[in-house]
Amino acid sequence: MIELDPRSASPIARFGGQPIAIAAAALVIVVLGVSSIALWRAYTGSAPETDRAVAARQLQARAAQASEQLVEKTKGLEATQQESIDQLQVVQDQLLTVRRLLAAQQADTRKLSEQVGTLTEAIDGLRQSFASAQASEPAAAPAPRNRSAKAKPRASRSVNRSRAKARG
């Protein structure tokens, strides 16, 4: 059997003898990565950490402003609701007053209807009695008039004047 050289068995084994070179290469890659990130931040003028902090502060400010607006709107809604409740109470009071007045008017109307009915019955009774009275009386001739009502007082005045002249 042929023995293999331990160095040719694996690629890691080949580098195993040079750990300093591997560490140096890794260090160079890390330094290049950090410097490229630093250059990129310097070139763009922004850092993600500060951007995140600014964004978080802006979100907090917006949230505080939104909560203040909600509080103001809630107070406005409460005031509007209270005004609506007050107006509804006034309308309910007016409705109750109108109902009472309507009930009183209906009672007055019933009372007047009953009175009109009673008067109608009384008028019908009077008509019937007048009709029966006219039917029972024979047709009488009209009485002749002696003198008119105006002529009588004048005649008595002239008589009184002639008496007064005779006395005087």
pLDDT class of 141 with cuts at 50, 70, 90: very low
Does residue 32 surpass a pLDDT of 90?
Answer: yes
32 inside domain: yes
155 inside domain: no
50 inside domain: yes
pTM: 0.39
Tens-place pLDDT, residues 92-131: 999 999 999 999 999 999 999 999 999 999 999 999 998 8
Tens-place pLDDT, residues 58-83: 999 999 999 999 999 999 999 999 99
Tens-place pLDDT, residues 11-26: 555 556 688 888 999 9
Residue with tokens 């005004």: 83
166 inside domain: no
Output the pLDDT for position 18. 80
29 inside domain: yes
Number of domains in the chain: 1
28 inside domain: yes
Output the pLDDT for position 135. 84
Which of 26, 48, 50 has its CA nearest to residue 37? Answer: 48
Burial (CB count within 10 angstroms: exposed 0-12, middle 13-18, buried 19+), residue 41: middle
pLDDT class of 143 with cuts at 50, 70, 90: low
156 inside domain: no
157 inside domain: no
Residue numbers of the domain that contains 57: 19-75+89-133
